[in-house]
Structure 1
Amino acid sequence: MENLQSIKRSINSAESLQSIVSTMKAHASSVITQFQNAAAASMAYRRVLDRALYVVITTGEETKPPQQKVKGSDIHVIFGSDHGLAGRFNERIVAFAQEKITPGEEDVVLVVGQQVLNRLEEGFKVDTVLPVPQTEEGITSMVQRLLLAIDEIRESKTVGRILLHYNKPQEVASFVEETERLFPIDLEELIKNDVEWESNSLPTYFVSKKNLFSHLIHQYFFISLYRAFCYSLASENASRLASMQSAEKNIDERLVDLNAKYRRQRQNQITEEVNDVISGFKAIKKSKEQEAVNST
């Protein structure tokens, strides 16, 4: 049976954990909106790029989009987290991505987040592991590092596709797994989507079509990776928020039980102490009465 000291230690430990959980919950709640707003801003920029690509492809002498389909290895980029306590955020994206990756030497895997690497099954070739940026400002530099890693792979082997696997946030602190094709870009589909212009002036450009197209593709790659980071980080914190809310509920229930147990134990201890005092008093009284009888 636990004594009062051990119960009190358990209460203190639960209260300390409760404080940590509350802090993590507040942090996750505050950064979700930050990453969601960054993702929305990247989508606005993506629409600008789509329009620019449409103009470049459909104007000038060459109206047919450049041929991009190439047979070769696939590059899979899996976005996860560096830290735990995020529910099944990493388990779900790893299981989702592994179904789309061919084990062996053909497909190449790039991992964002140590938790993903720890959960990948054997047989998958992991080329690069990158840390997860913890702030919106850190996403840009991490995208640049990821682009460099992809370029190094493309220099050493023929790449057919580049696929991004990440969790995308949904309503009410939930998320869904998603795969996005970064390369090759479906330019033919882009041409089919007629772009409406708010102005009567037709858009044009005054630089080399080839150079402009190359620059736009680089921007397209950058903003697509940037958005994937934003979606993944928002989903991670949404999952962590839900996990912390569940943990907070369990801790509250645990504290109620421990405090009730502590009060019962304390009451029993007080009762025993009172009984000891009464018993001692009765024993002394009886002893004095016996002495009085003997003296007479």
Structure 2
Amino acid sequence: MAQTLEHLSRKNDTLTSIRGIVHTMKTLSAINAAPYEQAAQSIESYHQTILQGLASFVYRTGGVSVLSEALQPNTQLLVVFGSDHGLCGNYNELLANKVVAYSEAVPMAKQHILCIGSRMGNALLEQDLSPDVVLMPPASADGVGRLAGDIVTRIERLGSGQALTNLAVTLVFTQRQEHGYQETVTRNLLPLDKSLLQPEQLWQSRSLPDYTMNSEALLAALIRNHVFASVFRASAEAMVTENATRLSLMQQAEQSVDEQLESVQQELSSVRQDEITNELMDIVIGHFA
């Protein structure tokens, strides 16, 4: 059924408006991702310094046995970095599925979920998982540090000062892969990975490490900063990936709108030409009648 000129004009205006919105969202996603990516790169350099300090501590004190002989934790904390905004496809649903699979594979007597993002919280509820706390994602790169500090404080509070022996902490987030792909990952944060407790593999300088402050205080500071840097990195990476996902979807949407817009404009041009032709024929026929 042929569409009228008025209907096609309204459709053209609507598609043009939608294209402007999609283009704006695409631009914002590209702009927003850059600061988070810079934050992720910066914390990575800081984290390497912390790991080097931990390696020197273990090398100097021979504290491997103290850390590696920790009891099996009986409490698990899953920190899930999701989204609080839409237009990013099934981003939160994939994370929720990952949480379910991990919980079933690594069961604990007590399980707590710290969720970042209200939409992520809803996705977990749909999987019959109830988050203990739902925090808001950072609104800018400056907020990543505040969020990481808040999460570290909650981890310490839940561990009651014995996080190494009683508490297992796992980060669940989405990270980028090659060729624009992404994947949901789980990263065990506590207890400390045994690879961090092998000084002969980590300490490579010919100078022997040493320190002057209290060993317990130093160890506590190193572990806290290791946890902070890991959480910061996961949060920044999650924000980069979320914006990259939204950017990819907006590019697809823009292409789809452009195709529809081109089709409508061609049809609109054809209808206009037909109306002009009909009006000219009426004039000609009326003149010779």
With the shorter chain as reference, the TM-score category is 0.7 to 0.9
Shift in CA distance, 176/205, structure 1 to aligned 2, threshold 3 Å? same
1:133-152 mapped onto 2 (5 Å cutoff): 133-152=138-157
Partner of 2:263: 257
Whether the 8 Å contact between 1:77 and 1:111 is mirrored in structure 2 is yes
Shift in CA distance, 100/184, structure 1 to aligned 2, threshold 3 Å? same
Shift in CA distance, 15/211, structure 1 to aligned 2, threshold 3 Å? same
Q: What letter corresponds to residue 27 of structure 1 in structure 2?
A: L
Shift in CA distance, 41/26, structure 1 to aligned 2, threshold 3 Å? same
State the alpha-carbon separation in 1 of the partners of residues 58 and 210 from structure 2. Answer: 11
Q: What letter corresponds to residue 78 of structure 2 in structure 1?
A: H
State the alpha-carbon separation in 2 of the partners of residues 156 and 188 from structure 1. Answer: 23
Whether the 8 Å contact between 1:53 and 1:216 is mirrored in structure 2 is yes
Partner of 2:173: 166
Q: 1:182 aligns with which of 181, 189, 197?
A: 189
Whether the 8 Å contact between 1:80 and 1:115 is mirrored in structure 2 is yes
Q: Secondary structure at the match of 1:134?
A: coil
Partner of 2:6: 5
Q: What letter corresponds to residue 271 of structure 1 in structure 2?
A: T
State the alpha-carbon separation in 2 of the partners of residues 104 and 280 from structure 1. Answer: 89
Structure 1: unaligned runs, 5 residues or longer:
284-296
Deviations 1:10-59 (A, max 9, x none): 21221222122222222222333332232222222222111111111222
Q: 2:120 aligns with which of 107, 116, 121?
A: 116
Partner of 2:70: 68
Partner of 2:85: 83
Question: Post-superposition shift, 1:63?
Answer: 5.3
Deviations 1:128-176 (A, max 9, x none): 1111113211101111222233344334999531111101112333211
> Could you tell me the percent identity over the aligned residues?
26
Q: Secondary structure at the match of 1:166?
A: strand
Partner of 1:100: 102
Whether the 8 Å contact between 1:174 and 1:238 is mirrored in structure 2 is no
Q: 2:234 aligns with which of 228, 232, 250?
A: 228
Whether the 8 Å contact between 1:28 and 1:241 is mirrored in structure 2 is yes
State the alpha-carbon separation in 2 of the partners of residues 176 and 210 from structure 1. Answer: 38
Greater CA drift, 205-214 or 8-17: 8-17
- Which structure 1 residue ranges, 4+ long, deviate > 6 Å from structure 2? none
1:238-257 mapped onto 2 (5 Å cutoff): 238-257=244-263
Whether the 8 Å contact between 2:73 and 2:167 is mirrored in structure 1 is yes
Whether the 8 Å contact between 2:78 and 2:112 is mirrored in structure 1 is yes
Structural RMSD (CA): 2.5
Q: 1:153 aligns with which of 155, 158, 161?
A: 158
Shift in CA distance, 61/197, structure 1 to aligned 2, threshold 3 Å? closer
Q: What letter corresponds to residue 121 of structure 2 in structure 1?
A: L
Whether the 8 Å contact between 1:167 and 1:178 is mirrored in structure 2 is yes
Partner of 1:17: 18
Whether the 8 Å contact between 2:189 and 2:227 is mirrored in structure 1 is yes
Whether the 8 Å contact between 1:104 and 1:124 is mirrored in structure 2 is no
Question: Post-superposition shift, 1:222?
Answer: 0.6
Question: Post-superposition shift, 1:109?
Answer: 1.3
Partner of 1:210: 216
State the alpha-carbon separation in 2 of the partners of residues 62 and 160 from structure 1. Answer: 20
Shift in CA distance, 62/277, structure 1 to aligned 2, threshold 3 Å? closer
Deviations 1:73-132 (A, max 9, x none): 211111111111113322222222221125999321111112212222243121011111
After TM superposition, the score normalised by the length of structure 1 is: 0.86
Whether the 8 Å contact between 1:112 and 1:131 is mirrored in structure 2 is yes
Q: What letter corresponds to residue 135 of structure 2 in structure 1?
A: L
Whether the 8 Å contact between 1:105 and 1:125 is mirrored in structure 2 is no
Q: Secondary structure at the match of 2:86?
A: coil
Q: Aligned pairs, how many?
A: 282
More helix, by proportion: 2
Shift in CA distance, 254/61, structure 1 to aligned 2, threshold 3 Å? closer
After TM superposition, the score normalised by the length of structure 2 is: 0.88
Deviations 1:197-224 (A, max 9, x none): 45x4322111000000001111111101
Q: What letter corresponds to residue 181 of structure 1 in structure 2?
A: N
